[in-house]
Structure 1
Amino acid sequence: MARGEPTTVEPVVGEPAAVADLNDERALLVADVHAGIEVGLRYERGVELDSRADARRERLCGLVAETAADRLVVLGDLAHRIGAPDGDERAELETLIRAVTDRVPMTLVEGNHDAGVAAAFADDLDVIGAGGGVLGDTVAVCHGHTWPDPALLDADVVCMGHEHPQVRLEDAVGGSRVERAWLRGELDPAAFAEDGADGVGDASDTDPPELVVFPAFNERSGGTWVNVEGQSFLAPFLPAALPAGDAYLLDGTRLGDYRRI
């Protein structure tokens, strides 16, 4: 079955966010907001950092306005700590969700950190389960921490988070820096399904969708250094489901094949 015109998921230059036209609405997509991360770092590692809750909220609301979005879609891990949110983390979530939903509806694709959030804010959010779903018939979304629903392969493009892809870049004098990155390429349908090719149809009869791995919205959340030897991917279907693909910096710079940067 051949596809029609490909659906465009267009990154917002300079930001870990993208827009997509979903039939009758325009969506802003982000992944891995990790609201309350400072609380989590204090609890998990004894690290004290000033909260950037206000800055995260203002960036999200600013991007909704800048892109004229009709909906915000979070590709999992809206919250940082696993379990029911409380204390400062819950306060940040309440303020953030209210600020966004006063402007546009908000959809949360449930990630491995979100079970408590989905329950606590069920009246405020549209929630898509961990297996993912399809928006507007053409854009599939999942977080990426578990095996996705094979039905996502019927979309033109699959968007995911969870991985927090980053690249380590070195200059001629030995200096280095780490930057967040996008990964994009043709998805291997057989590697995307838990049981291999079983249940996903004959891949020869269809054009595989594009896979877009989103950088983390939260710059403090760390990630997978895709070009550093010894780093392993977090998603159970990566890197096999993305046998070839390019990495891009947030400013749009194409780095080429993510496996050979």
Structure 2
Amino acid sequence: MDESGARGAARAADGGSPARASNPLVDPVPGEPAAVARLDGEAALVVADYHAGIEDALRYERGVELDSNAAVRRVRLLGLLDRVDPDRLVVLGDLGHRIGGPEGSEAEELDALVDAILDRVPLTLVRGNHDGGVGERFASTDPARFVITDSCGVRLGQVGFVHGHTWPSREVVESDVICIGHEHPAVRLEDSVGGGRKERAWLRGPLRPEPFADHLGVAVEDLEWRDPELVVFPAFNDRSGGTWVNVEGQGFLAPFLPGALVAEATEAYLLDGTRLGPYRSV
């Protein structure tokens, strides 16, 4: 990315948004389920849970008939790439939707999407639980342009990335910021007369080292613990449902949540940057 592109990424990520937390390495793009991560020497646009082909799954899993939104999703993502002008795109898992591997209209959507992305920037896919078969489908793609990580994630610069359906690797745990998807966090908001609506949300807050040390089988003092900030990304796909983090009975999906969270210091933000405060009290 040239100098003008770097300035564009910084402007797109900042915008005076109150969603910018204490760590500037990962800044949400105002109004979008996406963020800019500042890695060593480059900027990455980061999104989570694209779920290409979800309409097919809604049809055969739930009997819900919806026209495909594939073109709209692709235009939205490519528009963000043009707006932010990053050096790469990082997808925090679930680029596709079929757990057993893409086929049919999902495969067609993925083919068109990946081709369009790689015409602009390299792509790093942090493998999620819905990404089975994606690696095989794109096995002939230039590995320098399309990288698929292990499910335990990857650290790029000072930022760790993991989808969230598995425990992160030690290198991810020993990052300054840990970004995850998988949860599709959302909040239920109610007005004074009892009307309610669901809004996609960000969660940001500190982590406790003990659960990770226990899982890794090491002493806490042996971790290179940097007091990382956890950033839980909203789903890019607005048809993929979500966990209402402020509704009783709704639980987290990641094996390290909520145990590793400092819950009282973990705050929710709307996509427009509105700070809602601690997620449990929204």
Q: Using structure 1 for the length normalisation, give the TM-score.
A: 0.93
Structure holding more helix per residue: 2
- Contact residue 175 and residue 226 of structure 2 kept, 8 A: no
- Contact residue 165 and residue 213 of structure 1 kept, 8 A: yes
1:95 aligns with 2:112: yes
**Aligned residue in 1 for 2:255:** 236
Distance in 1, matches of 2:92 and 2:121, equals 16
**1:187: how far off?**
1.4
1:31 aligns with 2:48: yes
Correspondences of 1:12-31 after superposition (within 5 Å): 12-31=29-48
Note closer, same or farther for the CA distance 1:127–1:30 as it changes in structure 2 (3 Å cut).
same
**1:68: how far off?**
1.2
Distance in 1, matches of 2:198 and 2:122, equals 34
Correspondences of 1:135-154 after superposition (within 5 Å): 135-136=156-157, 138-154=158-174
**1:197: how far off?**
7.1
Choose which of 8, 11, 28 in structure 2 pairs with 1:11: 28
Which amino acid in the other structure matches residue 117 of structure 2? V
Distance in 2, matches of 1:37 and 1:71, equals 25
1:227 aligns with 2:246: yes
Q: Using structure 2 for the length normalisation, give the TM-score.
A: 0.86
**1:175: how far off?**
0.4
Give the match's secondary structure for 1:158: strand
Give the match's secondary structure for 2:85: coil
- Contact residue 31 and residue 272 of structure 2 kept, 8 A: yes
Correspondences of 1:1-261 after superposition (within 5 Å): 6-124=23-141, 125-136=146-157, 138-192=158-212, 195-196=214-215, 198-199=217-218, 201-202=220-221, 206-244=225-263, 245-261=266-282
**1:223: how far off?**
1.0
Unaligned runs of at least 5 residues, structure 1 = none
Note closer, same or farther for the CA distance 1:227–1:105 as it changes in structure 2 (3 Å cut).
same
**1:25: how far off?**
1.5
Distance in 2, matches of 1:207 and 1:135, equals 15
Distance in 2, matches of 1:225 and 1:237, equals 18
**1:200: how far off?**
5.8
Distance in 1, matches of 2:229 and 2:88, equals 22
**1:108: how far off?**
0.3
**1:21: how far off?**
1.6
Unaligned runs of at least 5 residues, structure 2 = 1-21
Distance in 2, matches of 1:192 and 1:178, equals 32
Q: Count residues with an aligned counterpart.
A: 255
Kindly provide the CA deviation profile for residues 126-147 of structure 1, in whole angstroms up to 9, marking residues without a partner as x.
Answer: 01110011012x0100000011
Kindly provide the CA deviation profile for residues 210-240 of structure 1, in whole angstroms up to 9, marking residues without a partner as x.
Answer: 1000000000000110000011111111111
Distance in 2, matches of 1:10 and 1:68, equals 15
- Contact residue 174 and residue 223 of structure 2 kept, 8 A: no
Give the match's secondary structure for 1:259: helix
